Amino acid sequence: MTSQPSAVASDRYAKAGFHRKGVWRSAVIAVVALMVFVGAVVAIDYLLKPQLNGLALLLVGIVLAVVPAALWLTFFYVQDRVEAEPVGYVGRVFVIGFALAGAVGIPLTNNVFHVQEWLYRSPVATIIGSLLIGAIESFLIYAAVRYYMFDQPEFDERTDGVVYCTAAALGYATAINLQFILNSGGSGLGGSEVYMAELSLAYAAFGGVIGYFLGHAKLERDPVWWLPIGFLITVLLSGLFFVVRGQLETGSISIGVSTALPSIKGLLLAGTLAVAITAIVSLLVHRDVSREIAGLNQAEADPTKGDQQANWGVTAVFVVLLVAGAIGWHFVVNGVTAFDKGMVRGTYPASYGIVSHPNEIMHVADRVGSGAEFIITSKDLQAGRQDVRAISSMLAAQRAADFDNYKLVDTRPTTVNGRQAQLQQFAYVDTGGMVVATIPRVIQGTDYIFMMDNRAVVVTLLSTPEGIGDVDPVFTGFVNSLSLVEGAQLK
């Protein structure tokens, strides 16, 4: 005998066939309005170049950080005022998303995993970091609605999942935007607004995806795997966005007034994503409503059955992704790559990339993170007529010819893995040579000079004064990994 739906289930189905077209119209209009607003801010910043600084720049930056979310939520109510959700509930979910980002999400990604320091170091790092960010943020956006709104009587339509999850996602994006403004002291208005609008559009799209699955789960007796699959799709979409964005946007936003038009590739990507997700989710909801009206989607029992199991499934997927991300993070941060050049063997950080230079045994650099460079060179010795001091003088002469103000700061003997070496620290000014508009910068460096039978091997670290403290332990590990093979030929 087929069981009949309970009274609660009947109430939950009362509006199952209601398709709120205003939601989709509002989403598209909000995207267009946000693009227009960003264009206006960029035009004012580029043409008028307002001289804002200090507190004024910071306050304006904070206002602009809130505007993208405010525009989006406002259009939902202006365009959908007849069918709109209670303002208090949407605002509540927005605040919960904001709070979860500030209390859990941002500290987890920035302070525990330090994703911002290694996200774009290598293709593998980008994929691992993007999926880790996507898992954390998607789960918190899901949690804001699943634990605080899912069981409320007001969550009674298919589009409610989209509305509430979009609000939670915009709250999350607003928290990230405010953190960016506060950490940067108020950036150039045009560039920062492009960045903040980009995040808001992307996160609204992520919220729309998981919101569709939540809305469907609320009104259907879905299989236990339905919500976990929806969560995983949201994570993959978020990860893919950050991977593609990393390919499109390689620069950074500087503190102060912008002096050039910012790149809008990431913004166009986010806007396209938001419109595409809105269209796809709208079609899916329309299909579900049509099936509901035709009686094809009627559940045979109370649709609350299985909700808890599905929620545990989402949590389990999140935990698995978090553990996998932690393992990947460890590999990216602490992993090494082995090399064998015949006379020199060792390992260098896996996140560093090989730089091709003539007359060098090995040259690797951290192009995305610290910018530090590890270099190994060799110098042929004239029998009986060259020692460590001669090699040091040769290096000094060569660097003084290439750079300004070369200075040997310290030199002393040391021992590395039982082998005698000369340690020297130096500094110089790199003016950029013939490169136009390059700002001169101070470079600090360290040499380890090893004397072999007929040649000297020089292992060098180059870094900025600000970064050398963090890089020096990594370089020390690099030096300690080296094995010098007497009599071997260079490969």
Question: Under CATH, what is the fold of the domain 336-484?
Answer: Protein Transport Mog1p; Chain A (3.40.1000)
The domain segmentation of the chain, as residue ranges, is: 7-332, 336-484
Residue 444's pLDDT is: 93
Residue 297's pLDDT is: 55
pLDDT tens digits along 345-403: 999 988 788 887 778 899 999 866 678 999 999 888 775 556 788 888 888 888 888 88
Q: What residues in the chain have per-residue pLDDT under 50?
A: 1-19, 79-82, 251-261, 299-301, 434-437
pTM for this one? 0.75
DSSP calls for 340-368: E-SSEEEEEETT-EE---TT-SEEEE-TT
Residue 144's pLDDT is: 96
Residue 4's pLDDT is: 44
CA distance 23 to 278: 9
pLDDT tens digits along 256-266: 333 344 567 87
Residue 47's pLDDT is: 67
pLDDT tens digits along 46-101: 666 666 566 666 677 677 778 778 877 776 655 444 455 566 788 899 999 999 99
Residue 78's pLDDT is: 56
DSSP calls for 137-204: HHHHHHHHHHTTTTTSTT--STTHHHHHHHHHHHHHHHHHHHHHHHHHTSB-HHHHHHHHHHHHHHHH
Residue 253's pLDDT is: 40
- Integer CA distances (angstroms), 356 to 144, 217, 359, 361, 362, in order: 49, 55, 10, 10, 8
**Cβ contacts of 188 within 8 Å, gap of 6 or more:** 45, 253, 254, 255, 256, 257, 258, 259, 262
Residue 462 DSSP label? E
Chain centre to alpha carbon of residue 372? 21
CA-CA-CA-CA torsion sign (313, 314, 315, 318): positive
